[in-house]
Amino acid sequence: MDSKYPTQAEAAYQALKHDILECRLAPAAKLKISEICETYGVALGAAREALSRLTADGMTRLEPLKGFSVAPVSWEEFEQLMEARAEIEVSCFRKSIREGDVEWETRLAGATHRLARAQGAGRGRDPNGPDQAWLAAHAEFHRALVAACPNQCLLDLRETLYARSERYRHWALSLSARLGERDGNKEHGRLAALAQARDVEAACSAMYEHFMRTARDLLDAVRGAGKPVPDWRPWAGARGDESANGAASGDRAPKKASKARPARLAAR
């Protein structure tokens, strides 16, 4: 398919995915195919195909006799997403550092510069949420870090997990939560510098801490908006060292003690 002229199904898929990730379509909201056809200007078959793809991605759900709906959000999913994303991202990052060539170094340098410029222009610092330019630069930076990973299956999974976890950022902002200040340039610059220096263990450890900070910031923001938030218990399996990194070494982290199932988050 020519990406310049996407099919109706592809156009509907991308538009719906964008609106779901940015919570323009609220978590758990019902999705009527007739309304999708009218809103996005696509045919019935294209709408059905787009929804089927989104269901496979975990963005929507299909229930017998009820039809399609936006996937709900929950603290259980958030915890699992962040753990899975850290495991996969660290594994891809480790492989990327080891396999990266000069083209990878060049791409990473450019992505780091673009993100720093976006941050320096004030984008990404607004507690009410970053703008699209910063979000695009941030996504490309993290993509560039792992671009030299030779395992395309891991990279595809990483891309899906990244998109799904970003929905929680937008969900928090939809609750009027204010994300805390942090020195993004310093954090991202350190990740890039360690990767360029081929310091695998320090880079992967820094990546793990980057994810932990992001998770804590989002929880604090939602708590600050007056919403109930469970206690955050960091996982053990995605640390930078290979002996603790289940994705890189094959070893599994010790199983957590059983706990009550977290309550589903209320959708707006």
Provide DSSP, 143-195: HHHTTT-S-HHHHHHHHHHHHHHHHHHHHHHHTT--PPP--HHHHHHHHHHHH
What pLDDT shows up at residue 246?
40
pLDDT, tens only, 9-49 = 999 999 999 999 888 999 999 999 999 999 999 999 999 99
Query: What DSSP assignment string belongs to 57-111?
Result: TTSEEEETTTEEEEPP-BHHHHHHHHHHHHHHHHHHHHHHHHH--HHHHHHHHHH
Q: Where are the domains of the chain?
A: 8-70, 75-249
Q: Please state which CATH class domain 8-70 belongs to.
A: mainly alpha
User: What are the tokens at 259?
Assistant: 């706990």
**Segment holding 219, helix H or strand E:** helix 200-224
pLDDT, tens only, 61-80 = 999 989 999 999 888 888 88
Report the alpha-carbon distance of residue 174 to residue 24 in Å, rounded: 9
Burial class of residue 185 (count of CB atoms within 10 Å of its CB; 0-12, 13-18, 19+): middle
What pLDDT shows up at residue 147?
98
Give the homologous superfamily in CATH for domain 75-249: GntR ligand-binding domain-like (1.20.120.530)
Q: Do 75-249 and 8-70 have the same topology in CATH?
A: no
Burial 78-112 (b: 16+ CB within 10 A, else e): bbebbbbbbbbbbbbbbbbbeebeeebbebbeebb
N-to-C CA span, the chain: 37
What pLDDT shows up at residue 180?
61
Report the alpha-carbon distance of residue 26 to residue 34 in Å, rounded: 18
CA torsion sign for 52, 57, 58, 59 is: negative
Lowest mean pLDDT among 50-59, 128-137, 253-262: 253-262
- pLDDT at 176 exceeding the cut of 70: no
**Segment holding 50, helix H or strand E:** helix 44-56
